[in-house]
């Protein structure tokens, strides 16, 4: 018998038949897996989690700050102009620095598309 770990769910796959075995102490298949481990066997490693696409990273970043792109761009220009009028470096303003960093990350990801 051979098993494989899963990264996408809390289960183990039995390779003989592809059964997904939940990590449940009351499950007889899971008990058999634990016995198999106790005998010194080692399951196959889980498949690596795929790297998210540039587009999904952009979407996550934009969801994360909950500010639509046009609003974020307007805020950046507005904060920068007001800071410069007051002879201040806009990068010293936490709100501007955070928005600017997020915007630059999104721009870099968009360049990869």
Burial class (CB in 10 A: 0-12, 13-18, 19+), 4: middle
Residues 71 and 102 in one domain: yes
Mean pLDDT, rounded, for 96-105: 87
- Domain of 14 in residue numbering reads as 3-38
> Residues near 65 by Cβ (< 8 Å), separated by ≥ 6?
72, 99, 102
Q: What is the pLDDT of residues 77-89, one digit of tens each?
A: 888 898 899 999 9
Strands 19-22 vs 3-5: parallel, antiparallel or unpaired: unpaired
pLDDT digit string (tens) for 20-76?
A: 999 898 999 999 999 998 899 999 988 887 888 888 888 887 776 667 777 778 888
On whether residue 75 sits in a domain, the answer given is: yes
- Quote the number of domains for the chain: 2
Residues 66 and 108 both lie in one domain: yes
């Amino acid at each position: 018998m051979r098993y494989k770990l899963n990264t996408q769910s809390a289960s183990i796959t039995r390779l003989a038949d592809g059964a997904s075995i939940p990590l449940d102490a009351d499950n007889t298949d899971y008990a058999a897996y634990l016995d198999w481990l106790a005998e010194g066997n080692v399951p196959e490693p889980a498949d690596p989690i795929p790297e998210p696409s540039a587009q999904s990273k952009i979407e996550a970043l934009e969801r994360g700050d909950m500010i639509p792109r046009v609003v974020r761009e307007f805020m950046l220009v507005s904060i920068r102009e007001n800071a410069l009028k007051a002879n201040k470096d806009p990068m010293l303003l936490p709100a501007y620095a955070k928005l600017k960093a997020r915007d630059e990350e999104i721009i870099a990801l968009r360049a990869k598309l």
